[in-house]
Structure 1
Amino acid sequence: MSKDIRIKKGLNINLVGAAEQTTSKAVLSNVYAIHLSDFHGITPKMLVKEGVEIKAGEALFYNKNREDMLFVSPVSGELIEIERGARRRILTLKILADKTQDTLEHSKLDLEKASAHQVKEYLLKGGCWPFIKQRPYDIIADPDTTPKAIFISGYNTAPLSADLDYVLQGKEKELQAAISALGKMTPGKVHVSVGKSAKSPLTGLNGIELHKVAGPHPAGLVGTHINKIDPINKGELVWTVSAQDLVIIGEFLLTGTFNAERIVALAGSSVKQPKYYTTKIGTEISTFLYASGVNGENFRVINGDVLTGLKSKQDGHLGYYNNTVTCIPEGDDYEFFGWNKPIFNKISATRALTFSWLQPNKKYDLTTNTNGEHRAFVVTGMYEKVFPMDIYPMQLLKACMVKDLDEMEQLGLYEVAPEDFSLTEFVCVSKQPHQQIIREGLDLLQKEIG
Structure 2
Amino acid sequence: MSKDIKIKKGLDIRLKGVAEKTLSNAPRSRTFAIRPSDFHLVKPKMVVKEGGKLKAGDTVFYSKEHEAIKFVSPVSGTLTKIERGAKRVILRIIIEADTQDEYTDFGTLDAGSADTEAIKNRLLEAGCWPFIQQRPYAVIADPETAPRDIFISAHATAPLAADYDFTLQGKEKELQAAITALSKLTEGKIHVGVGKNGQSPLEGLNGVELHKVSGPHPSGNVGTLIGKIAPVNRGETVWTITPQDLVIMGELFLTGKFNAERIIALAGSSVKAPKYYKTKIGSEVSTFIYDSGLNEENVRVISGNVLSGTEISPKGYLGYYDDVVTVIPEGDDYEFFGWNKPVFNKVSASRALTFSWMQPNKKYELDTNTNGEHRAFVVTGNYEEVFPLDIYPLQTLKACMVQDLDQMEALGMYEVAPEDFALTEFICVSKQPHQQIIRNGLDLMYKEIG
**Structure 2 length as normaliser, TM-score?**
0.99
Corresponding residue of 1:102:
102
Offset of 1:69 from its aligned partner? 1.2
> 1:32 is matched with which residue?
32
Q: Distance in 1 between matches of 2:199 and 2:112?
A: 28
Match of 2:4 in 1: 4
Matched residue type, 2:327? C
The separation in 1 between residues aligned to 2:116 and 2:240, in whole angstroms, is 17
Match of 1:16 in 2: 16
Which residue does the alignment assign to 1:233?
Answer: 233
Structure 1 partner of 2:424: 424
User: Which residue matches 1:242?
Assistant: 242
Structure 1 counterpart of 2:283 = 283
Residue type matched to 1:195 in 2? G
Matches of 1:156 and 1:317, distance apart in 2: 22
Deviates more, 1:80-89 or 1:142-151: 80-89
Looking at structure 2, the residues matched to 280 and 245 of structure 1 have their Cα atoms a distance apart, in angstroms, of 12
Which 10-residue stretch deviates more, 201-210 or 112-121? Answer: 112-121
- Tell me, in whole angstroms, the C-alpha distance in 2 between the residues paired with 1:215 and 1:2: 16
- 1:360 matched to 2:344? The reply is no
Q: CA deviation at 1:147?
A: 0.6
Matching residue of 1:370? 370
Partner-residue secondary structure (3-state), 2:276: strand
Distance 1:264 1:275 in 2: 9
Structure 1 residue 90: Cα displacement: 1.2
The runs of at least 4 aligned residues of structure 1 exceeding 2 Å deviation read none
Report the counterpart of residue 410 of structure 1 in structure 2. 410
Secondary structure, aligned partner of 2:193:
strand
Aligned AA (1:392): Y
Match of 1:200 in 2: 200
Residue number in structure 2 paired with 1:448: 448
CA deviation profile, 1:71-100 (whole Å, cap 9, x unmatched): 100000000001111221111100000112
2:60 counterpart residue number: 60
CA separation in 2, counterparts of 1:77 and 1:445? 40
Amino acid at match of 1:302: I
1:110 deviation in Å? 2.5
Q: Deviations over 1:299-358 (max 9, x none)?
A: 110110000001110000000000000000011111111111111000100000000000
In structure 2, the residue matched to 1:166 is: 166
Q: For 1:146 and 1:256, how far apart are their aligned partners in 2?
A: 24
Is it true that 1:47 corresponds to 2:54 in the alignment? no
1:165-184 aligned at under 5 Å gives the runs 165-184=165-184
Aligned residue in 2 for 1:123: 123
Match of 1:341 in 2: 341
- Following superposition, the deviation at residue 142 of structure 1 comes to 0.5
Cα displacement (A) at 1:396: 0.2
Q: Match for residue 74 of structure 2?
A: 74
SS at match of 1:118: helix
Alpha-carbon distance, 1:67 to partner: 1.5
* Residues 210-248 of structure 1: per-residue CA shift (max 9 Å, x gap): 000000000000000000001101000100000110000
Partner-residue secondary structure (3-state), 1:203: coil
Q: Which runs of 5+ in 2 are unaligned?
A: none
Structure 1 unmatched runs, 5+? none
Give the share of equivalent positions with the same residue, in percent.
Answer: 67
Residues of 2 paired with 1:332 and 1:43: CA distance? Answer: 35
SS at match of 1:165: helix
Deviations 1:102-134 (A, max 9, x none): 111112212222111111001000110000000
Question: How far apart, CA to CA, are the structure 2 residues paired with 1:97 and 1:164?
Answer: 28
Give the TM-score of the pair, scaled to structure 1.
0.99
Q: Deviations over 1:177-197 (max 9, x none)?
A: 000001111000000000000
Partner of 2:271: 271
Report the CA distance between 1:286 and its aligned residue. 0.2
Residue type at the aligned position of 1:346:
K
The alignment covers a number of residue pairs equal to 450
**In structure 2, how many angstroms separate the alpha carbons of the residues matched to 1:339 and 1:436?**
26
Paired residue for 2:319?
319
